[in-house]
Structure 1
């Protein structure tokens, strides 16, 4: 990604809804299902060191809701987590709009479905 960040290590941990819900309750005090939680461990200004937890169940359900493939939705969520590490937020409407724009930008640039050149 061209967002001005250096990467040390980003671990992607694929898990269940229940596992991610437990992390959400414990670390963020949110009692809701989510598709992704990103933990950043590096000191400010240092190369990214992170764990990104992704609920495969949420990704699968969201793919149905948004009428897209599981693979496309998974890639979107992966970019979403990395964009958070790059400083993008999504709590306010204008932040969410920019986040969606950046997700689509990276999906179009990097996601190539199987069987295409």
Structure 2
């Protein structure tokens, strides 16, 4: 009998952030992949400073600006279970939360879920895609914070 490895979600903290209930958050993230019928092998989040995310943006995407999230699908084949890397710019999330009048932790979780949605096939290039993405983010926040 062959046993399949359980999905793994990891967090690394380079930025000024603390996450409570990490075990619950990891289980919720895994459930989002299941709901979207996307097998998950490994997902790693790195919470970093603006300078770190700018360097990643410049090195890997040839973008010269700050962002709240960068998501990498690291699978060799699209049929493989998901292996992903998500970088979250904590400083930008904090600024966005303040600008939007949202609590920081709520905005941080929105961005965490946003990365999962990208890896599950949702995009946000067009206005229509952005509306769908925002709706899905809101659904995730409602489920998680109920």
**RMSD between aligned residues:** 0.9
CA distance in 1, matches of 2:99, 2:112: 18
- 1:46 alignment partner, SS class: coil
The residue number in structure 1 matching 2:61 is 28
Q: Secondary structure at the match of 2:72?
A: strand
Quote how far apart the aligned CAs of 1:111 are: 2.4
Specify the alignment match of 2:104 in structure 1.
Answer: 70
2:47 maps to 1:14: yes
Give structure 1 regions of 4+ aligned residues with deviation exceeding 4 angstroms: none
Q: Determine the C-alpha separation between the residues in 2 that align with 1:83 and 1:38.
A: 10
Match of 1:105 in 2: 139
Tell which structure's C-alpha radius of gyration is larger: 2
1:115: which partner in 2? none
Q: When the two structures are superposed, what TM-score results if normalisation uses the length of structure 2? A: 0.74
**Number of residues paired by the alignment?**
112
